[in-house]
Amino acid sequence: MLSYFIKRVLAFIPTLIAASMLIFLFIHLIPGDPAAVLLGDTATPEDIAALTRELGLDEPIWRQYIHWFGGVIQGDLGQSLFFKTPVLSVIADGAETSLLLALMTMTWIVIFGVPIGILSATHHGTWIDQLTSGFAIFFASIPTFWLGLYLILFFAVGLGWFPSSGFPSISDDGGWRNLRYLLLPSLTLAAPNAALIIRLVRSSMLDVAKEDHVRTAKAKGLSPAKIAIKHVFRNALIAVAAAFGFTFAALISEAVVTETVFSLPGVGRLVVQSILRRDYPVIQGVILIIVLLYLSINLIVDLAYGWLDPRVSLQ
Amino acid sequence: MALLEVENLEIAVAGQSEWLPVVEDCSFSVDNNQTLGIVGESGCGKSLTAMAIMGLLEQSQVNITNGKIWLDGENLLDMSAGDRRRIMGDTMSMIFQEPMTSLNPVYRIGDQIVEALRQHRKMTSAEYRTRALQLLEMVNIPDFQQRINSYPHQLSGGQRQRVMIAMALSCDPKLLIADEPTTALDVTVQNEVLELMLDLQRRTGTAIILISHDMGVIAQTCDEVAVMYRGRIIESSTTAGLFANVLHPYTRGLLNSIPAIDSETEWLDAIPGRVPMLEEKLSGCAFHPRCSYSQPKCADTLPAALSIGESHLVRCHFAGELEL
DSSP per residue, B265-302: -SS----SS-PPPTT----S-TTGGG-TT--HHHHHSP
Is A229 near chain B, with CB under 8 Å?
Answer: no
- B141 and B247 in a single domain? The answer is no
Alpha-carbon distance values, B204 to B1, B34, B172, B208 (Å): 20, 11, 8, 11
pLDDT confidence of residue A174: 67
Which residue from B54, B86, B105 is facing A310, i.e. has the nearest CB? Answer: B105
Q: Torsion-angle region of residue B33: left (phi > 0), alpha (psi -120 to 50) or beta?
A: left
Contact B170, B200 (CB under 8 A): no
Q: How far apart are the C-alpha atoms of B138 and B213, rounded to whole Å?
A: 27
Is A225 near chain B, with CB under 8 Å?
Answer: no
Q: What is the pLDDT along chain B (324 residues), one digit of tens a residue?
A: 889 999 999 999 888 888 888 999 999 999 999 999 999 888 888 889 999 999 998 777 888 999 999 998 889 999 999 999 999 999 999 999 888 899 999 999 999 999 999 999 999 999 999 999 999 998 888 899 999 999 999 998 888 988 998 999 899 899 999 998 888 778 888 888 888 888 889 988 999 999 998 888 888 899 999 999 988 999 999 999 998 889 999 998 888 887 777 766 677 777 888 777 777 777 888 888 888 888 888 888 888 888 888 889 999 998 888 877
pLDDT confidence of residue A197: 92
Name the DSSP class of B123: -
The residue of chain B nearest to residue A235, with distances taken between CA atoms, is: B106
A14 in helix, strand or coil? helix
Q: In angstroms, how far is the first alpha carbon of chain A from the final one?
A: 7
Q: What is the pLDDT along chain A (315 residues), one digit of tens a residue?
A: 788 888 888 888 898 889 888 988 888 887 777 777 777 777 788 888 888 887 777 788 888 888 888 888 888 888 887 888 898 888 888 888 888 888 899 999 999 999 999 999 999 889 999 999 999 999 989 888 888 888 888 888 888 887 877 777 777 776 777 778 888 888 989 999 999 999 999 999 999 999 999 999 999 999 999 999 999 999 999 889 888 888 887 887 778 888 888 888 888 888 888 888 888 888 888 888 888 888 898 888 888 888 888 888 776
At residue B268, φ and ψ (nearest 5 deg) are -85, 145
- B194 and B269 in a single domain? The answer is yes
Q: Among A216, A223, A226, A237, pick the best mutation site for testing chain B contact (most B Cβ within 10 A).
A: A216
- B129 and B278 in a single domain? The answer is no
Q: How far apart are the C-alpha atoms of A182 and A165, rounded to whole Å?
A: 9
Nearest-CA distance A305 → chain B (Å): 11
Q: Among A213, A230, A234, A240, pick the best mutation site for testing chain B contact (most B Cβ within 10 A).
A: A213
Residue B323 counted as domain residue: no
**CA-based R_g, chain B, Å:** 21
Contact A266, A255 (CB under 8 A): yes
Whether residues B86 and A217 touch (CB distance < 8 A) is answered with no
Domain encompassing residue B139:
101-170
The residue of chain A nearest to residue B98, with distances taken between CA atoms, is: A212
The residue of chain A nearest to residue B58, with distances taken between CA atoms, is: A215
- B56 and B176 in a single domain? The answer is yes
Q: The domain that contains B17 carries what CATH number?
A: 3.40.50.300
Distance of CA B238 to the CA centre of its chain: 16
Is A49 near chain B, with CB under 8 Å?
Answer: no
Domain end, chosen from B123, B153, B170, is at B170
Domain end, chosen from B141, B170, B199, is at B170
Contact residues of B toward A, CB < 8 A? 54, 56, 85-90, 93-94, 96, 98, 101-106, 115-116, 119-120, 151, 153, 164, 167
Whether residues B54 and A219 touch (CB distance < 8 A) is answered with yes
Name chain B contacts of A218, Cβ cutoff 8 Å: 56, 88
- B73 and B177 in a single domain? The answer is yes
Q: How far apart are the C-alpha atoms of A196 and A198, rounded to whole Å?
A: 5
Torsion of CA A200, A206, A210, A214, to 10 degrees: 90
Domain end, chosen from B147, B170, B193, is at B170
Residue B83 counted as domain residue: yes
pLDDT confidence of residue B92: 93
- B189 and B309 in a single domain? The answer is yes
pLDDT confidence of residue B30: 94
- B16 and B43 in a single domain? The answer is yes
Nearest-CA distance B82 → chain A (Å): 8
- B122 and B238 in a single domain? The answer is no
Q: How far apart are the C-alpha atoms of B295 and B288, rounded to whole Å?
A: 8
- B207 and B293 in a single domain? The answer is yes
Q: How far apart are the C-alpha atoms of B11 and B6, rounded to whole Å?
A: 12
CB atoms within 10 A of CB B50: 20
pLDDT confidence of residue B263: 66
- B246 and B129 in a single domain? The answer is no
By residue count, chain B amounts to: 324
pLDDT confidence of residue B215: 87
Q: How far apart are the C-alpha atoms of B98 and B91, rounded to whole Å?
A: 22
Whether residues A311 and B151 touch (CB distance < 8 A) is answered with yes
Sketch the domain layout of chain A as residue ranges.
2-73, 87-308
Name the DSSP class of A140: H
Contact A68, A284 (CB under 8 A): yes
Whether residues B94 and A211 touch (CB distance < 8 A) is answered with no
Is A277 near chain B, with CB under 8 Å?
Answer: no
Nearest-CA distance A4 → chain B (Å): 21
Q: Is B26 exposed, middle or buried (0-12, 13-18, 19+ CB in 10 A)?
A: buried
Q: Select from A285, A125, A124, A108 the least CA-distant residue to A197.
A: A108
Give me the CATH topology for the region A87-308. Answer: MetI-like fold (1.10.3720)
Number of domains in chain B: 2
Alpha-carbon distance values, A167 to A103, A176, A178, B32, B102 (Å): 15, 11, 7, 74, 53
- B286 and B192 in a single domain? The answer is yes
Which residue from A213, A308, A310 is facing B101, i.e. has the nearest CB? Answer: A213
Residue B319 counted as domain residue: no
Residue B324 counted as domain residue: no
Nearest-CA distance B56 → chain A (Å): 7
- B258 and B303 in a single domain? The answer is yes
